Each structure stands twice: as structure tokens, then as C-alpha cells.
Amino acid sequence: MTVMAEHTSQMQVEEFEEIASKAPETVMLEFIDGRIGVKRMPDGDHATITMWLIRQCIQARPDLDLHPEQGLKVGPYRKGRARADGVLAPVAHLAGQGEWADPSGVLMVVEVTSYDEDTDRRDPFEKPSAYAAAGIPVYLLIDRDSCTVIVHSGPDREGARYRDVHTSRFGEKVKVPEPVGIELDTEILKSYVR
């Protein structure tokens, strides 16, 4: 479900933050391309994938933290607000930044699709543009609908797109490029799809 502001072209990020701060804890809101979106609460498989990825990152890169459900200032001029399923950054990098962190220094963002039409439209289409414009080096999309892992890298901030996009099927080994520099064996992901 997408919630549209009455005058989306005039809505300011401060107005969105006020609305988001008053939302119940069971509702997660995002503000991308001038539209408010409701992010679906994760199901058990979604949460299990996130925990699997946290373990993989900690084992491969103990110098990094993967923060689940972290809010970021994204898009051109950082006027958007996205709540990523995971944000990979150096240990304690996000300390003291509050609900909507600056993406500077973030190495990778992760999204896991949710079997929700609105979220599944934002994750593969709107979020790569917002994350690239924010200069985040890697965007990892785990798409449960297509059983693929899509690695976006080489952000083009001016074009608001990633130059390199590599798609792998669940079960394949996925290389996540520098500055992350890890490899993921995605065989287990076959167990977490409908």
C-alpha cells in the first residue's frame, strides 16, 4: 500500500520525518522520489535471510557491522528517506546518528523482497537510484520472487544509477565487490522462498 501526500511535490523531508515519528511501531515508512511508502513488516523467512547475511558479513569482515532496518538519508541532495533491510558500515560508524543516518561511509545496503507489490516495486526500481545518488558503493538485492541475488556496484551519483549490475540465481556463489570484498554461497536461500 502506498500512502501519497496530498501535495507530494510540495512535501518537505521535515514533514515526512514528523509523520514517520508519529507512526505506530508496527509501521515503517519511507520517503523516496517525493512519495511516502509503507514498508511491510518482515516475515520469518525475510528475517532469517537477514540473520544469515549478518552472520556471513561478521565471519568474512569482523571489522564491519550489518545494521538491520536502518534508516538512511538517500537520493539527490539526501532529500529521501529509506529504511534498508541492512546497512553495512565499519563497526560503530552509525553510532550517534539517530533514526536517519547519513550514508557517507556506508559500504553496502541490502534489501530482501517481501512479497508485497509496493515494496517489491521500490526495492528493484526506485531504491537503486536513491542509493546510487547517495554514493553508496554496493546495493545487494535478494529477490525472493525471482530467486536471484542482484549486486549493484559502481554508483554514478549524477545519473542516479549503478554502472555494474550482476544477477545470480539462488545456489550460485556471489562475489560482492570492494569495498565489501566478500563471497556469498547462496544455496541456503532456496530454503527461504515460497
Averaged pLDDT, 44-62: 95
Of 38, 48, 42, the closest CA to residue 115 belongs to 42
Query: How many C-beta atoms lie closer than 10 Å to residue 159's C-beta?
Result: 11
- Rounded CA gap, 116 and 32, in Å? 17
pLDDT grade, residue 105 (50/70/90)?
very high
Decide if 188 contacts 163 (C-beta within 8 A). Answer: no
pLDDT of residue 9: 47
pLDDT of residue 31: 73
- Rounded CA gap, 46 and 90, in Å? 24
